[in-house]
Amino acid sequence: MDTKYYVCQYCHDEFIPKRRYIQKFCSATCRSKAHHQKNKTVSSSDKRVIGPLNKIEKMSAAGIGNAAAGALAADVVKNLITKNHDRPATKGDILALSQKIERFHRVLNIALGINGELPYFDMVTKKIVYFKNTIPINKNKF
């Protein structure tokens, strides 16, 4: 016996047809409802059937909603990651970047200060400055 399921064109439930290739609905009830619904079409050019969503369609709508939310979340993440590459740097970006670059850089080819202070190049003032042995920023480098 052929147990291939058909899907009812009204309630979208699966059913085993008694008359294969002909039977479109799982029951006389669905066939009747579908017939009545057919007469509620919007216009001759628009054959979409209006009427309340059936059980399956409601589930699908929820699924689509979840999928859309997932896609939206993915897009947001994607934008955060990829769009930043193409986006021009804002003044805020530059400020944040400049704050990450160390301001003081140890200068190696200049003599120490009078009291043995270490010379640094100040990136902000563009001048050589001296610090007593300890400057927290570059501490790890010497």
Q: Which of 1, 11, 73, 74 binds Zn ion (CB under 5 A)?
A: 11
Amino acid letter for position 92: G
The DSSP secondary-structure symbol of 118 reads E
Span interacting with Zn ion, options 20-28, 57-65, 101-109, 112-120, rule CB under 5 A: 20-28
The DSSP secondary-structure symbol of 10 reads T
Whichever of 30 and 135 has its CB closer to Zn ion, that residue is 30
How far is Cα 122 from Cα 133, in angstroms, rounded to an integer?
16
Amino acid letter for position 124: V
Quote the least distance from Cβ 25 to Zn ion, whole Å: 5
Work out whether 135 is an interface residue with Zn ion (CB under 5 A): no
Binding to Zn ion, residues 73-102 (CB under 5 A) = none
How far is Cα 104 from Cα 123, in angstroms, rounded to an integer?
6
The DSSP secondary-structure symbol of 105 reads E
Quote the least distance from Cβ 52 to Zn ion, whole Å: 15
Work out whether 118 is an interface residue with Zn ion (CB under 5 A): no
Q: To which residue do tokens 């009812």 refer?
A: 8
Span interacting with Zn ion, options 10-18, 32-40, 87-95, 128-136, rule CB under 5 A: 10-18
Quick one: CA torsion of 75, 77, 79, 85, rounded to 10 degrees? -150
Q: Which of 1, 18, 28, 30 binds Zn ion (CB under 5 A)?
A: 30
Which helix (H) or strand (E) covers residue 128, if one does?
strand 127-131
Quote the least distance from Cβ 92 to Zn ion, whole Å: 60
Quote the least distance from Cβ 59 to Zn ion, whole Å: 15
Q: Which residues bind Zn ion (CB under 5 A)?
A: 8, 10-11, 26, 30
